[in-house]
Structure 1
Amino acid sequence: MQETPQVATALADQTVLPDSSEKAASCLDNPPEETISIRFTNFVSANGHSFNFEPVVRTWSKKNKNLPIHIGRYTDKYNGGNVSAVVFRSKVVSRRHAQVFYEGGEWYVQDLGSSSGTFLNHIRLSPPCETSKPYHISNNDILQLGADYRGGEEMHYRCVRARIELNNSWRIKLSRFNLEEYNRVRSLISKATEGSKEDAPVSECCICLTPVLPCQALFVAPCSHTYHYWCIHPTLQKNHPYFNCFICRKYHDLSTPVEEGELELRELMKHATVVDKSP
């Protein structure tokens, strides 16, 4: 039985888009200069063996730029020491394994004398139980803490592999393609549920009652009703491959082959009325 992976302290990472797309793009492309941030996300390698954890974000003012982020193993006696620390429930990670810090406009990682080692892009930083010198880290570098023990069969014996993302680089940037696809989906939904109403209001997710916006992960049911994937995925997992739409109550088999659905759609299109707006 696998242990549920946990991180002691993790901050929520959400992107809120204002009504103006130009303003949103400007805000996302140019984050506030007075803050710096780093995010650790679970990196799945080819063998698939690594400790699973939710994304961890740390953000603070540049005035505290020399404050290091300590990385280590969570225990009852040691939970990181402060809110900026990042701790994992993996037994191959030392309690004070490594640290990441920001200095002179650059990011660095340093092994603090761990027994199982710290690896940056698959290269070990120092011999066992020896403190390494600081190594420069860049956006999308891969940081590994420890090595698998007993083949990594149990979750708490797996090493931690994390992709490093710096200074809000993970934020989704609103582009023309995002807006075009968003409008296309809105058009399909409005035609299926409200007729061909071009000025249909922004649809809402009936679960969380918040608007469906560009750059969000969506689930579009065969009946064309749309949900935030985050809201609907527990229901999809529980009842897979069947889905009963919360809005129209239609029952769908999500495992229907694409070829079969395509034939049904083509048959419907034969009897559909197409309006040609070309001159």
Structure 2
Amino acid sequence: MATLTPPANDGPASPGLAGLAFSLSHLRLVPYLTNVQVGTAPTLAPSLRFTVVERAIREGTVVKVGRHTERSARHRPAVLGMPDDILFKSKVVSRAHAEIWVDDGKFFIRDTASSSGTFLDQVRLSPQGSRSNAHRLHDGDCLQLGVEYRGGEEEMYRCVRMRVEINRRSQAAQPHANQDMVPSSPVVASNLPVVPVTTDCCICLQPLRRTPLFLTPCAHAFHYACIRPLLTTRRSRNGRTVLDAVDGFSCPMCRSYIDLNAEPADEDDDV
């Protein structure tokens, strides 16, 4: 594999606004949720909870990835075409953990000699304290920063596990749904205020009847009993299995990330 060197961030050139718009590539990092055990596969330890990260990155710009600190909280002066660094409040993430950049329209990542490692689809990119080669990021990849410490029982000691979304258009409601009636946040109801894209539960494939139903902002509907396992996470504590509510989950149909703590949108808000 040819070695790629990220461009130096000495400051971007000053392209015209029109040229800048066409050279942007879009990166979205959403929490990678592992709250359901499939078969006998081991359940991954819980990861850090964070809000979805979105960046528009132009060719030749390096985005730093690392741990949030008081010093990093003092933002550098805004520069045209320079996106903010990607920072997480986790003790297992190094201050300068990795860097992401775009080359020829493709996203790449490199571990910058972090202590606890960068993992791409569960494969570590380099040994502890060593810089890695450049690795290409693909849409749908699972990216992990660090390894949980003390079992990850405390939030600050959890690794950061996320799914990579590249150049995706925002997940809008399906065309068969009434756009004005699709909720801005998930709802549980006995009968739905909107006709979903299917008359069957998307999980068990049985008809949607007058049992508690769960409707997502992406206009997919489920029996609440079918979707409930996705809304909790299991962990072992003192020999017992404990169920915790999750802050969000990925729709089984379209993989849209849904924030369960999102505030309902006002009528005047754009949806």
TM-score of the superposition, structure 1-length normalised? 0.52
Task: Determine the structure 1 residue equivalent to 2:122.
Answer: 122
Deviation at 1:84, TM superposition (A): 1.8
Deviation at 1:44, TM superposition (A): 1.6
Matched, 1:70 2:64: yes
Matched, 1:212 2:181: yes
Paired residues of 2:145 and 2:161 also in contact (CA < 8 A): yes
The 1:127/1:218 distance shift into structure 2, 3 A limit, reads closer
Matched residue pairs, number?
164
- For 2:143, what is the secondary structure of its paired residue? strand
- For 2:175, what is the secondary structure of its paired residue? helix
Distance 1:137 1:223 in 2: 42
TM-score of the superposition, structure 2-length normalised? 0.53
Note the 1:59-98 alignment, pairs <5 A: 59-60=56-57, 62=58, 65-79=59-73, 82=76, 83-98=83-98
Task: Determine the structure 2 residue equivalent to 1:22.
Answer: none
Amino acid at match of 2:170: R
The 1:103/1:223 distance shift into structure 2, 3 A limit, reads closer
The 1:166/1:106 distance shift into structure 2, 3 A limit, reads same
Task: Determine the structure 2 residue equivalent to 1:37.
Answer: 26
Amino acid at match of 1:129: G
Amino acid at match of 1:100: I
Paired residues of 1:43 and 1:162 also in contact (CA < 8 A): yes
Task: Determine the structure 1 residue equivalent to 2:100.
Answer: 100
Instruction: Specify which structure has the higher proportion of helix.
Output: 1
Instruction: Specify which structure has the higher proportion of strand.
Output: 2
Matched, 1:179 2:175: yes
Distance 2:72 2:65 in 1: 11
The 1:74/1:129 distance shift into structure 2, 3 A limit, reads same
User: What fraction of aligned residue pairs are identical, expressed as a percent?
Assistant: 33
- For 2:72, what is the secondary structure of its paired residue? coil
Bigger CA radius of gyration: 1
Aligned-residue CA RMSD in angstroms? 3.0
**Which ranges of structure 1 fall in alignment gaps of 5 or more residues?**
1-31, 184-201, 203-210, 227-254, 257-279
Amino acid at match of 1:75: T
